[in-house]
Amino acid sequence: MEPTALRLAEFLLLGVFAGAIGALTGIGGGLIITPVLTLVGGIPIHQAIGTSLCCVIATSSGAAANYVEHRLSDIRLGMTLELATTAGAVSGALVAGLMSREALAVLFSLLLLYASAAMIRRTLRDGETEPSETQPYKVKRLPLGLVGSAGAGIVSGLLGIGGGPVKVPLMYLVMGVPFKVATATSNFMMGVTAAASAFIYYSRGDVRLLITAPIAIGAYVGANLGTHIMRRAASRWLVLLLASIMLYLAAVMIWKSLHGGFER
C-alpha cells in the first residue's frame, strides 16, 4: 500500500525532527526514526531499521559538512575509529537477519534505556553544555576506543542507529575528547557506518523507498538546522526532552514485544 500525501508529509516532518536531534546530540536520528516507524507506522522492525539506516546517512551528510567547515570534527580520529566500526556494522547487519522482531525490539529498547539514562545523568550532574570554543585535548586509550568502535558498529548494524549512542560516550568519557568534538566526529562517522549496514538491508528488501525518501530529505534539512543549534545554544533541555521521549518509546516497545504486538 502506497503512502498518502498526508503520510508523506508526516514522514518528512519526522525526518526534520530526527535529523535535527541527531545532529545536535551526535547519536543519530535512528533512535527516533526506528521506534516511530514501528510503533506509529506499523512497519515491521527489520524494514524500519533498514529505512532508518538510509536516513542516518542523510543526517550525517547534512551535519558533517557543517561540522568539518567549523573544525569541530576530529577527522583523523574519526577515520581511525571508523575502520573498526564498519567491520562491526557489517557483522551486525548479517546477524540481524537471523534474529526475531521481538528480540530486536527488546535489544533496541535496552539501548534506549541506556542512552537516556546516560544523558540524564550527565546533564543533571554536570549541566554540560560545552563552550562554543573547543579546548586543546589529547586522545587517550585508542586501543580501547577501537574495540568500543567495533561494538558501536555491531549495534548500528543490528538496530539501525548509526552507532552514535556508543560512539559519543566512548569518545567523551573514555578517550578524553571534548563533548562537542565527540558529537561532531560521531556525525562525521555514522554515515559510513550506516551505509555499510544499509546495503545489506537493501539487498534483503528491507528498505521501503517510498518511506525512506521523504524521511531522508527531512533528515538532511533537520541535520543542517541541528548543527546551527548545537554551535549557538545550550542543549541541556533538549537533551532532557529527548531522553524522556526515548524512555517512553523504550517502555512501549518492551510492552509490545512481550505481548507479541509486532507485525510479522
Q: DSSP readout, 129-154?
A: ---SSPPP-----HHHHHHHHHHHHH
Closest CA to 226 of 65, 19, 78, 40: 19
- What's residue 157's pLDDT? 73
pLDDT tens-digit series, residues 118-174: 768 877 776 554 444 456 778 889 899 899 888 878 877 776 666 777 788 788 878
pLDDT band at residue 217 using 50, 70 and 90 as cut-offs = very high
Q: What is the mean pLDDT of the chain?
A: 79
Q: How confident is the model at residue 71 (pLDDT cuts 50, 70, 90)?
A: confident
User: Rounded mean pLDDT of 63-71?
Assistant: 78
CA–CA distance, 232 with 222 (Å, rounded to integer): 16
pLDDT of residue 226 exceeding 80, the answer is yes
**Domain limits, the chain:** 5-258
Percent of the chain with pLDDT over 70: 86
Residue 218's pLDDT band (cuts 50, 70, 90): very high
Is the predicted pLDDT of residue 1 greater than 70, yes or no? no
Look at residue 2 in the predicted model and tell me its pLDDT.
61
pLDDT of residue 152: 79
